[in-house]
Amino acid sequence: MNARSLLLSLGILTAFVSAKADITIEVTEFSEPEMVVISASGSLNTSSLSSMISAYDGGGISPGDKLIRFSAPGGGTARISFIGTGMIDFGSASFVACDYFEGDNLGLEESRLSFPTTYSSGDPLSSSMVFLGESIASLGIDEAGAPFSATLATGDRITIRIVRLVDAAILQSTQANLLKRLRILKRSNKSLKRKLRAARRRGR
């Protein structure tokens, strides 16, 4: 499965948007193939913000700089607003660029908020980035401290959650074992029912 197909398959995860002006970020690690997908969904309250349209750097993550930036690897443009209080610590590593991006430009930093140039306050946002060959650990995210939660100066709440998906092979093996146990249980139940019927007949 390529990165684009993966993002499309995960679309249902980012399609549901909170009614509040909140952003939920899910960091999902895949072990086969090895990659991390970071997805954001929600909305922002920008009604009281002053902002300017500016060049926007490429997408990536820098936990040590309290930065998550959803954007194409080559960057683009976005509205930038200095908000004073932004992201909290969620790790220690330096910047790692994403390999693939889809969705809205969205940047969350310690003192700066970035959002699409045509964004209207309260509109839904949805973004995803793929980091090929990376893990939660290699990106420097402090998994032990998750989930992370911060309230921006705008009142918007940002939540970062960690999701782990097991190997497809392990999942298939687990499913096969469960089906095998269910079949054994059904056979045992049938045998028990036959014995009960036989016992009732003898008792008549």
Whole-number Cα distances in Å, 204 to 79, 112, 189, 191, 192? 85, 83, 23, 21, 19
Query: Do residues 41 and 126 make contact, with C-beta atoms less than 8 angstroms apart?
Result: yes
For the stretch 73-118, pLDDT in tens is 888 888 888 776 667 788 887 899 999 999 999 988 877 888 998 8
**Predicted pLDDT at 189:** 62
For the stretch 158-168, pLDDT in tens is 889 998 775 55
pTM of the entire predicted model: 0.71
Distance CA 63, CA 87 (A): 10
**Strand 157-165 to 22-31 pairing:** parallel
Nearest 10 degrees: Cα torsion 172, 173, 177, 183? 40
Provide the 10 A C-beta neighbour count for residue 30. 21
**Predicted pLDDT at 59:** 93
For the stretch 28-71, pLDDT in tens is 998 777 889 999 999 988 888 888 888 888 999 999 888 899 99
**Predicted pLDDT at 13:** 42
- The structure tokens listed for 177 are 């074992």
Query: Do residues 70 and 37 make contact, with C-beta atoms less than 8 angstroms apart?
Result: no
Average pLDDT over residues 152-162: 85
**Predicted pLDDT at 37:** 92
- The structure tokens listed for 142 are 């402090």
For the stretch 7-21, pLDDT in tens is 544 443 444 333 346
* First and final C-alpha spacing in the chain: 63
Buried/exposed code over 105-140 (b: 16+ C-beta within 10 A; e: otherwise) = bbbbbeebbbbbeebeeeeebbbbbbbeebebeebb
Closest CA to 122 of 50, 48, 42: 42
**Predicted pLDDT at 42:** 93
How many helices and strands in the chain, by DSSP H and E?
3, 13
Distance CA 147, CA 159 (A): 7
**Predicted pLDDT at 12:** 36
Domain boundaries, the chain: 3-165, 167-204
**Predicted pLDDT at 185:** 61
For the stretch 170-193, pLDDT in tens is 556 555 665 676 676 667 666 666
